[in-house]
Amino acid sequence: MSLTLIFLLILRLILHKMDLQLLIGFLLTITPIFELRAGSPVIVEWALKNDVSVAPYFIIILFLNVALIFFVFFFFDFIHEKLLLNKLYRKSSEPILLRIRRKGLRIEKSGGNLQYILLALFVSIPFPGTGIWTGTILSWSFGLNRRKSLVAITIGTLVASLLVLLATLGIFLVIS
């Protein structure tokens, strides 16, 4: 099955029963800080409310987050340097990047394959500021191997999304 066909099937699924709550959930899923930690519960609640399976939407969330890794790398490889020429961008982005870099100093100092294990663990913690955006920025700023980073960040995202999904389903079971 080609990637284009998969994308079209996902798009059809999204547009089939799209409403504002679902759109907000997907937008939260791809935004920095919130990511799937905020988007997933919104989408799970929508799926339960509309009596549809959570599974396809869970897969879409994972797909969006993995695709986001490529976007963040692209942004920092090609666009970030050009934007640094703008004083406002430079003043606003430098403190954020410095804070992210400080978060990941243990990852950088560990060296070898341990870096990628720590990167996966860092991304898998379901707290704001520890997801794909931060993990990818850490990988970029430390000059880590892209393929290994992609695998580590994807594994971390899978673990985080499963934790968030299980917590969300558990909360809705207790409420109902």
Higher pLDDT, 165 or 21: 165
Of 57-61, 109-113, 143-147, the poorest mean pLDDT is in 109-113
DSSP state of 131: S
Contact 118, 107 (CB under 8 A): yes
Single pTM value for the model: 0.84
Q: Which two tokens stand for residue 135?
A: 């993990």
- How far is it, in rounded angstroms, from Cα 144 to Cα 96? 19
Count of CB atoms situated within 10 Å of the CB of 165:
20
Reported as a single tens digit per residue, the pLDDT across 43-98 is 999 998 989 999 999 999 999 999 999 999 999 999 999 999 999 999 999 999 98
Domain that holds residue 73: 3-175
* 129 conformational bin, left if phi > 0, alpha if psi -120 to 50, beta if neither: left
- Total domains present in the chain: 1
